[in-house]
Structure 1
Amino acid sequence: MGAIATAFGLVFDPYVLAIIMGSAVFGMFVGAMPGLTATMATALLVPVTFFMAPVPALGAIVTATAMAIFAGDIPAAMLRMPGTPASAAYADESYEMTKKGQLDLCMGVNLVFSVLGGIFGVAILVLLAPVLAEVAINFSSFEYFWLACLGLTCAVFIGTGDPLKGLLSLFIGLAIGTVGIDPAAGQPRFTFGNVDLLSGINFIPTLIGMFAVSELLRGAVTMEATGARIQQAVGNMFAGLGAVARRYWKNFIRGSVIGTVIGALPGAGADIAAWVSYAVSKKMSKEPEKFGTGHIEGIVDSTSANNSALGGAWIPALVFGIPGDSITAIVIGVLYMKGMNPGPTVFLQTPELIYAVFIIFILANLLMFPLGWVAIKSAKQILRVPRNILLPVILIFCMVGSFAMTNSLYGVVLMVVMGVFGWLLEEHGIPVAPLILGLVLGEMLEQNFMSSMIKASGSFVGFLDRPIAGTLGVLTMLLWAMMAWKALPFGRRQPVAA
């Protein structure tokens, strides 16, 4: 109890609270700008934390990250331009709700369930950190291969309309992901002598191009203002939330659990948690045909998942020093810098600092509510900006985000190319979401497949030898078999004759 009391004293210091507030505003701004990710917000804060004590340094990073993950939902709903990759899974769904005049409800759900999902993730972090970390530490390349396969299977569910077009989009994404250095042989692939392509197709410029630039092109071609055609009065974001909560409370719990568990798996993170949760929501829904048309159900699942994943990602980081995602990889560096060596001993040597992190997490999620409300109210004014001003400003932000990720014009060129390509795909009815999923998980799939084949000396039996790997493998193959059966003429349900 003494350590907890000390932790409260450390957090509720005026200086620390001022740092948390400043970081919250910074994270909210970075997350709301397309292309400026939560990871970038964390990385930009690292030089500043050099001059801080451990508690304000960790408070700055925790708060900015939580705010950025939520803030990515704002441009996703208003302009179909996800501010962060964690918002990409349900950007189309949010934007369709906005077009139907349900922007207030969409933003209210995003805000409230982001806060609740974040608090759920922190609660699990506090209560079950050692248990979940013990499960996560048992994951080897075999388990991660099957996890990637399971994640890629989600492409069939997230693609609206024709499943074959969804699979085509997924395979395009996987193909794009092979550009760069072969992870096993170290040989360049499909680089055509271009030095920039040696590092592969960068994910962030591709994401910006596929969602933001393609939407700008669509607005230009149709001679309509992207987003500006949606003229809505600033209304009450919390009207109707009670009905949503009563109807979809199970979705919130399921999304939060999925997010926390995936967050606890090293290398997964909030973006994969959102994709998987959205796909599971569609698969389990009683009205899956509504997904992709502006249906709130998938948003409840996904926005709960990506925020709860933040707390989950800290579990292996604190207990074993293994990063749960790119953000906690940066955090581990900060912990070492501050003399807090992550691992089981950190709970014995500096328990007050661990409790301080827990308190900051709860504080950051509670702070998200009023700051998120202000951010949404302010951002709604974007919808009233004239087209000839709005589109160039959005394009400039997209270019800045793409340039920042590669530190060269290569990122900007890639963004433009992928934007045109994404626009062409959607004009022919091919969804871009599965392509993005393939690009996200393609590297993970290939690296773990090659590592597993080397470990198993080329034998495929090794993929099912371990208990967790075997369970995931059987589950994935059963899912594939079920989808193949349904695709066959005799596997489909025949209409009952009158």
Structure 2
Amino acid sequence: MDTLLKSVELIADPLTLGVMLLAAVFGLFVGAIPGLTATMATALLIPFTFFMDPVPAIAAIVTTVATAIFAGDIPGALLRIPGTPASAAYCDESYAMTKKGLGERALGIALVTSVIGGLAGSIVLSLSSPMLAEFAIQFSSYEYFWLACLGLSCAVIISTGSTLKGFVSLFIGLFIATIGIDGTAGHPRYTFGSIELMGGVSFIPAMIGMFAISEVLRYVASNRTVTKVPQSSGGGVFRGLGPILNKYRYNILRGSSIGAVVGILPGAGADIAAWISYAISKKRSRESEKFGTGHPEGLVDAGAANNASLAGAWVPAIVFGIPGDSITAIVIGVLYMKGMNPGPMVFIERPELIYSVFLAFFIANLALLPLGFGAIKLSRYILRIPRQVLMPIILIFCMVGAFAINNTVFGITVMLVLGILAYLMEENGFPVAPAILGIVLGNMVEDNFMASMIKADGDPLGFFSRPIAATLGIVTILLWLAPLVAMIVRWRVGKTDQDSAS
């Protein structure tokens, strides 16, 4: 009880609440600009967190992400341009409602379901994290090795596009993670004589470069024009919302549940949760023929799922130090900077800070309701800001953030190089998320592998010597073999069909 009261005191501090309010406005602004993702908003926020205490810093990130994910629905509904990837799943549906003159109602549905889904995800985070932490205290290097491998595998398998390209992206990230001094042998690797590289590739400049700089380059290369905002999208934000939410109350529950579960999977994220929830909604609906014509059912499911997944993604990040999505990959770096090393021991050493994070999720989602309403009303003005003004400002923030890590220009160099790399990867169909997870988890995989091999005297069977490690190891290996088995089955079926035809 004392811990909870201390957490309430920390989060109720006027400075913390003021920071959360500013972060909410910032998240709504960035999320409403097409192409500027919630991940990019988080990356841009990092320089400001240097000067904050742990609770305001993490609360600012939580609030920014929650509001940015919803704000991505605004250009999706009004312009058919999803502001964030999580909004893409139901962009056509909400735009179809706008063409019927119900644009504000579509955004009202998205707002309320986002709040409900976010609160549901916050409950899952608050209840499951302490229980998982008690379980995770028993983990040794064997379990952490397999857990990191499982996280990397999930990220590749569920990433959109080619699985092979996902693997290539993952190995690029793992290679970047090996740069610097070998933690076991103390020998420099891939430093090319550079003293700066001996410390490895700094995590925050890498994140800023791969998310923010790549988006700036994409804008410059595409020379996109701004689409005009519709003059009228009547219907009222909350008008007629009660009967719709009552009719689809089970859809809200289902979408929230799917979002929370998918969010916990390493590498999944809100966009995957929204797509899965929308697809299931369409498949299980009694009015599936109405989907795509401005039917609210899909909006209810996907809107609840995308915000529920945000809190779910924090579960593996806080308990195991494994990012649930690209946003929590950045958050882990901030946690380390603030002395809140993620892992089960943080629940014992600094429980008041963890419970403050849980409270921040509840406050951020409740604050989203009035702030989101205001954003919907102001959306026409937000969407008219010229990109020629925004992009240079974003570039300046990126450079300041990269420089501030070690007060050296080398951070800016890392940011620019990896930004160009991420841009080239995405232009050629290689997803960036597996590379990010490779950078985040690379050291964890290597350090735990080497520690385990030393403990087992070089015997590989040592990785299966403990029950939990053996279970995780078998699951991971089966996951690795699944694509190969599927390929063999497809080949045999194709061969059988050819034999039958001949």
Give the TM-score of the pair, scaled to structure 2.
Answer: 0.68
1:126–1:358 Cα contact (<8 Å) kept: yes
Q: CA deviation at 1:191?
A: 1.0
1:44 and 2:51 matched: yes
Q: 1:412/1:237 Cα in 2 relative to 1: closer, same or farther (>3 Å)? A: farther
Q: 1:162/1:133 Cα in 2 relative to 1: closer, same or farther (>3 Å)? A: closer
Find the counterpart in structure 2 of residue 474 from structure 1.
474
Q: Per-residue displacement from partner, 1:273-313 (whole Å, max 9, x unpaired)?
A: 5537866887899679x9xxxx9888865642332455787
Distance 1:107 1:186 in 2: 55
Find the counterpart in structure 2 of residue 68 from structure 1.
64
Find the counterpart in structure 2 of residue 139 from structure 1.
139
Superposition pairs of residues 111-122 of structure 1, within 5 angstroms: 115-116=115-116, 119-120=119-120
- Gaps of at least 5 residues in structure 2 are 31-39, 77-82, 96-102, 284-297, 322-330
Say how many residue pairs are matched: 442
Find the counterpart in structure 2 of residue 28 from structure 1.
24
Q: 1:184/1:258 Cα in 2 relative to 1: closer, same or farther (>3 Å)? A: farther
Q: Secondary structure at the match of 2:172?
A: helix
Q: CA deviation at 1:477?
A: 1.1
Find the counterpart in structure 2 of residue 162 from structure 1.
162
Q: CA deviation at 1:150?
A: 1.2
Q: 1:410/1:35 Cα in 2 relative to 1: closer, same or farther (>3 Å)? A: farther
Distance 1:281 1:492 in 2: 34
Q: CA deviation at 1:244?
A: 8.2
Query: Counterpart of 1:444 in structure 2: which amino acid?
Result: M
Distance 1:346 1:203 in 2: 24
Q: Give the alignment's Cα RMSD to 1 decimal.
A: 5.0
More divergent stretch after superposition (427-436 vs 380-389): 380-389
2:258–2:277 Cα contact (<8 Å) kept: no
Out of 245, 255, 260, the position equivalent to 1:256 is: 260
Superposition pairs of residues 311-350 of structure 1, within 5 angstroms: 325=332
Out of 15, 22, 26, the position equivalent to 1:19 is: 15
Find the counterpart in structure 2 of residue 450 from structure 1.
450
2:44–2:394 Cα contact (<8 Å) kept: no
Q: Per-residue displacement from partner, 1:152-175 (whole Å, max 9, x unpaired)?
A: 112333433322122112211211
Q: CA deviation at 1:442?
A: 1.7
Find the counterpart in structure 1 of residue 100 from structure 2.
none
Q: 1:162/1:131 Cα in 2 relative to 1: closer, same or farther (>3 Å)? A: closer
Distance 1:389 1:223 in 2: 14
More divergent stretch after superposition (298-307 vs 468-477): 298-307
1:41–1:64 Cα contact (<8 Å) kept: no
Find the counterpart in structure 2 of residue 55 from structure 1.
none
Out of 275, 278, 289, the position equivalent to 2:268 is: 275
Superposition pairs of residues 456-495 of structure 1, within 5 angstroms: 456-488=456-488, 490=490, 494=494
Distance 1:79 1:199 in 2: 42
Q: 1:181/1:369 Cα in 2 relative to 1: closer, same or farther (>3 Å)? A: farther
Distance 1:477 1:105 in 2: 47
Distance 1:454 1:168 in 2: 29
2:149–2:476 Cα contact (<8 Å) kept: yes
Find the counterpart in structure 1 of residue 37 from structure 2.
none
More divergent stretch after superposition (123-132 vs 146-155): 123-132
2:59–2:360 Cα contact (<8 Å) kept: yes
1:274–1:306 Cα contact (<8 Å) kept: no
Q: Secondary structure at the match of 1:461?
A: helix
Superposition pairs of residues 331-410 of structure 1, within 5 angstroms: 362-374=362-374, 381-410=381-410
1:160–1:431 Cα contact (<8 Å) kept: yes
Q: Per-residue displacement from partner, 1:23-71 (whole Å, max 9, x unpaired)?
A: 312443676574646776655322xx9xxxxxxxx5x466434313424
1:206–1:414 Cα contact (<8 Å) kept: yes
Find the counterpart in structure 1 of residue 311 from structure 2.
307
2:174–2:442 Cα contact (<8 Å) kept: yes
Distance 1:281 1:458 in 2: 44
Distance 2:445 2:179 in 1: 14
- Gaps of at least 5 residues in structure 1 are 50-57, 81-89, 263-271, 318-323, 335-340
Distance 1:328 1:147 in 2: 20
Find the counterpart in structure 2 of residue 54 from structure 1.
none
% identity of equivalent residues: 37
Find the counterpart in structure 2 of residue 207 from structure 1.
207
2:119–2:308 Cα contact (<8 Å) kept: no
Q: Secondary structure at the match of 1:45?
A: coil
Give the TM-score of the pair, scaled to structure 1.
Answer: 0.69
Find the counterpart in structure 2 of residue 180 from structure 1.
180
